[in-house]
């Protein structure tokens, strides 16, 4: 289940980064960190910690793009309760 959430977060981060570049080009202003809400705490921890664990070593390298964006400060994953 962690892999699916991580892949979805990867897709969202690609879209967010594209929109950030588009808006920066239009308005020539630097944007704050964009928050992506996620209901999986393991996914959030994987995006913040660049260490590969046994459970996450099977994830394709391209999905770790979100780690790069979190480290650069473009994207931040924030926990959101499932009930909300």
Q: Could you tell me the pTM of the whole model?
A: 0.79
How much is the pLDDT for 16? 94
Structure tokens at 80: 């959101």
Residue 69 in tokens: 């964006």
pLDDT at 49: 82
Residue 57, pLDDT score: 65
- pLDDT at position 32 is 93
pLDDT in tens, 33-77: 999 999 888 888 888 886 766 666 667 778 889 999 999 999 999
Query: Where is pLDDT greater, at 21 or 1?
Result: 21
- Within 8 A by CB and 6+ apart from 16, the residues are 34, 36, 69, 74, 75
């Amino acid at each position: 289940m962690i892999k699916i959430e991580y892949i979805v977060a990867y897709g969202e981060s690609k879209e967010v980064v594209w929109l950030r570049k588009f808006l920066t080009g239009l308005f020539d202003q630097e944007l704050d960190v964009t928050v992506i809400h996620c209901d999986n705490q393991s996914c959030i921890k994987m995006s913040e910690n660049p260490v590969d664990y046994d459970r996450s070593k099977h994830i394709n390298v391209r999905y770790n793009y979100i780690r790069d964006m979190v480290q650069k400060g473009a994207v931040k994953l924030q926990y959101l309760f499932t009930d909300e």
